[in-house]
Amino acid sequence: MERRISSKQAKIAKLRKEKAKIFKQMKLEAQKEETLKTFYEKYTANSKAEIALFGQEITPAMKISKKDEAMRDDLYELADLFGDKQLKTIAGKYVFGINHPDFETLLDKNDNFNLNQYLKNEKILPVKPMQQKIATINKKIKQLKKDISKENQTRYFNPNNVSLLSHITVDDAKQMLKGTALYADAKAYVKAEEKYHVNAVFLMGIAAHESAWGTSRRAREDNNLTGYGVTSDSAKGINKATKEEGLLTTAKTLHEKYLTAGGSYYAGTSAEDVNKHYCVGGEWAAAVVNDAYQLMNQL
């Protein structure tokens, strides 16, 4: 149990790190977008960049203005933000102090550079998929916390009140049923308890006793693990498409008719009280309880 809790706690820690990484990425993408927008507003007076930014290759004789130097610094900032080494090289190689739609016609094609065209290719990742991923991570963390809370609860089986929850987990159920033909449907017992408030260990005990631990003909052919409705070899009993459906049907019937005051077979909430109408004979409850305790010993 402690090992399972530690494993889940480690998963939560890993998910939180992943979430922090995504938040950091979201912040970076927002910063990229805002910085690029500010750059265009500063140097083109048009954030949509309808006017191209053209640059001329720097020569030894060229005079660098303060505006050129300011733009170079801003380009270095953009380069660092986008992790773009090539942009850093461009910032040091060209002067972008002239912003004119006909400027490129004034220069040798080999000497000028269209900065606007280059910046259009800078990647700004969409935030929405990241937000969706965070929502998924939050959901996983919430479920893991719920699982840990359940792991910390005391496992419980009291034959004097089989309507009390056992608080076993699916991992518990698998451990208890390991090596038997009932193992494949371990999850169904936990599901039945959560849905119909019938102790899962009691249901396991019924299944173990009635189906010879999942090997009986009714279990194999009719998916009837609990023997409900089988009063003779010719009785139809419950027939379902899956064993899980059979278990859930039994749990629903036990809850509504046997364990709820006013139910048609209600005589109390103990295994012996259920025995009075569930099965003819006084040994059924003792056999079921014995199998239930045997299962509890596996924890």
Q: How do the domains of the chain map onto residue ranges?
A: 2-120, 154-296
Q: What does pTM read for this prediction?
A: 0.56
The SS3 assignment for 283 reads coil
> How much is the pLDDT for 258?
96
Backbone angles phi, psi at 57, to 5 degrees: -65, 135
> How much is the pLDDT for 51?
47
> How much is the pLDDT for 55?
75
What letter does residue 66 receive in the DSSP assignment? H
Number of Cβ atoms within 10 Å of the Cβ of 5:
14
The SS3 assignment for 112 reads strand
Residue type, 187: K
Is the CATH number of domain 154-296 1.10.510.10?
no
Whole-number Å distance between alpha carbons of 172 and 204: 12
Which residues in the chain show pLDDT less than 50? 47, 49-51, 99-109
> How much is the pLDDT for 237?
57
> How much is the pLDDT for 230?
56
Beta carbons of 239 and 224 less than 8 angstroms apart: yes
> How much is the pLDDT for 206?
96
β-bridge partners, 54: 114
Residue 178: how many CA atoms within 13 Å on its side-chain side?
10
The SS3 assignment for 54 reads strand
> How much is the pLDDT for 172?
92
